[in-house]
Amino acid sequence: EKVGFIFDLDGVIVDTAKYHYLAWRKLANELGFEFTHEQNELFKGVSRKRCLEILLDIGGIEATQAQFDTWMVEKNVDYLAYIEKMDASEILPDVLRVLEYLKNKNVPIALGSASKNAKPILEKVGLLHYFDSIVDGNNVMKAKPDPEVFLIAADNLGVGPQSCVVFEDAVAGIQAANAAGMVSIGIGDSDILNEAKHNFKDFTEMDNQFLELLLNKNK
């Protein structure tokens, strides 16, 4: 069977984590508390709703449903203002080389992201056309580490889960890929992503020979 490739978005294709951070920090400051970079680590790969729950926990704030909904919208409006200014210069190093390499080999490619803003971001940086399927926060019921997002992506690509390779920067994402029975590849800190099958600091460390190995894993 052919091999399918699934990419996470934030932290793998683009570094939007910094914009999420700025938007969450602004909200925290407005509510009267600090939000640090270390705390932001907990937000990677996690849904917007869950992020706000964690943020309010950090601030020790009890919110009514109406407040909660308002703050969800407020954070996203701020985040979208950053997204609006994005362009291809924000694509992370060697992502384009890897996408081109796979595209030239006619490999099915999907996006598997927790974000509800995935499509506009891919459009902004000019990468939308590389993806045969986009599965994001609008399509899933259960967030990572549940495997749902990657299983839907595999299904859309017409490839069995065991024939899929997942690139992820979040612990929850690696766990989701493993739970789906896929080959998990950590992009980032190998100490944090130690449950991944393979680890790379970023795509500059991953040569075409390794991609070829993944491509032929079923042969």
Residues catalogued as catalytic: 8, 10
Token duo for residue 138: 């609008």
Q: Where does this chain bind ligand G16 (CB under 6 A)?
A: 8-11, 20, 43-48, 51, 76, 113-117, 137, 170
Closest distance between ligand G16 and the C-beta of residue 33, in Å? 19
Closest distance between Mg ion and the C-beta of residue 47, in Å? 12
Phi-psi region of 216 (alpha: psi -120 to 50; beta: other; left: phi over 0): alpha
Quick one: 7 or 215, whose CB is closer to ligand G16?
A: 7
Concatenated DSSP letters of 166-206:
EEESSHHHHHHHHHTT-EEEEES-TTTTTTSSEEESSGGG-
Please tell me whether residue 11 binds Mg ion under the rule CB under 5 A.
yes
Please tell me whether residue 45 binds Mg ion under the rule CB under 5 A.
yes
User: Annotated binding residue at 94?
Assistant: no
Residues 6+ apart with CB under 8 A from 91: 13, 14, 125, 127
* H or E element in which residue 173 lies: helix 171-179
Which residue stretch of 42-50, 68-76, 79-87, 182-190 sits at the interface with Mg ion (rule: CB under 5 A)?
42-50
User: Annotated binding residue at 116?
Assistant: yes
User: Annotated binding residue at 168?
Assistant: yes
Q: Which residues are annotated as a binding site?
A: 8-10, 24, 75, 113-117, 144, 168-169
